[in-house]
Amino acid sequence: GENVEQHPSTLSVQEGDSAVIKCTYSDSASNYFPWYKQELGKGPQLIIDIRSNVGEKKDQRIAVTLNKTAKHFSLHITETQPEDSAVYFCAARAVTGNQFYFGTGTSLTVIP
């Protein structure tokens, strides 16, 4: 099955700086890559996603890039704010079925 690896596991940045989280996947047929933000005691919340026919997608301070050849995708958060502090998960969708394979998470801390 699909294997998704995520780095780094923890990330601390100063408020206003940028944060980048990277993921790789193993199944070249995976075709949909969402990113989720999980705050303490809550379920993951979808923040942005990208399909395999697109190389980049941006939504205000958040952007995702996809390199299908290298089988990696990244989350970019610019002008970070303290409320961005949370655990972020990348995921890849299996070609068969609808399940997602998740990375192990990145704990982001934005220091005021």
Partner 1 sequence: GAGVSQSPRYKVAKRGQDVALRCDPISGHVSLFWYQQALGQGPEFLTYFQNEAQLDKSGLPSDRFFAERPEGSVSTLKIQRTQQEDSAVYLCATTLGTGIGYGYTFGSGTRLTVV
Backbone angles phi, psi at 82, to 5 degrees: -55, -35
Is the Cβ of residue 10 or residue 18 nearer to partner 1 in the bound state? 10
In whole angstroms, the minimum distance from the beta carbon of 39 to partner 1 comes to 10
Q: Which stretch binds partner 1 (CB under 8 A): 14-22, 63-71, 77-85, 102-110?
A: 102-110
**DSSP string covering 21-88, please?**
EEEEES-TT--EEEEEEE-TTS--EEEEEEETT-SEEEETTEEEEEETTTTEEEEEE-S--GGG-EEE
Question: Residue 78, interface with partner 1 (CB under 8 A)?
Answer: no
In whole angstroms, the minimum distance from the beta carbon of 96 to partner 1 comes to 9
Question: Residue 98, interface with partner 1 (CB under 8 A)?
Answer: yes
Residue 20 has a CB neighbour count (10 Å cut-off) of 16
Question: Residue 3, interface with partner 1 (CB under 8 A)?
Answer: no
Beta-bridge mates of residue 92: 101
Site for partner 1 in 17-76 (CB under 8 A): 31-32, 34, 36, 41-46, 49, 51
Paired tokens of 35: 């990113």
Which of 80, 84, 93, 110 forms a contact with partner 1 (CB under 8 A)? Answer: 93
